[in-house]
Amino acid sequence: RTTDVLKRIDEATESKPKKIFLEIGINDIGTGVPEDSIISNYTKILTAIKEQSPASAIYVQSLFPSSDKTKIAAIENCNKKLEDYCKKNNIRFINLYQAFFKDGGIDTGMTFDGLQFNGKGYTMWKQLIELYVNE
């Protein structure tokens, strides 16, 4: 959850990593955290990273789809707000959502429970972000 990342942000920045990849928020949505709170927490996380480790390149990954189709609108809204925030603040946004979206939710071939990836899902995720890891 975004609140958990906020509590541990110092751990991520203390070594001043070259790159930081973030993919958080779906568990917030799953537990009913309002979209505005998720975006507010994300903003605090990104601000803290920039302040604590200014040389680190930041990569924000979109939230993935869910099999719970009642959550899709919230996921898409968060992704749009995150993408807009990243554009305004010169942060790389990696939109992975469409690669995992099928038939109105997460591609069931990529997951074992409708949310968590199986081997095929993790392999696809790795392939999609590998370019950014290696640049």
Q: Which two tokens stand for residue 13?
A: 């920045």
Phi, psi of 117 (to 5 degrees): -70, 150
Q: Per-residue pLDDT for 115 more than 90?
A: no
**Euclidean distance between CA atoms 97 and 66, whole angstroms:** 10
Q: Which residues of 124-134 are buried (b: 16+ CB within 10 A; e: fewer)?
A: bbeeebeeeee
As a whole number, mean pLDDT of residues 31-38 equals 95
CB 96 within 8 A of CB 76: no
pLDDT tens digits, residue range 36-84? Answer: 999 999 999 999 999 999 999 999 999 999 999 999 999 999 999 999 9
pLDDT band at 116 (very low <50, low <70, confident <90, very high): confident
**Euclidean distance between CA atoms 73 and 90, whole angstroms:** 25
| pLDDT computed for residue 62 by the predictor | 97
CB 85 within 8 A of CB 58: no
**Euclidean distance between CA atoms 46 and 26, whole angstroms:** 17
As a whole number, mean pLDDT of residues 9-19 equals 95
**Euclidean distance between CA atoms 118 and 110, whole angstroms:** 6
pLDDT band at 113 (very low <50, low <70, confident <90, very high): confident
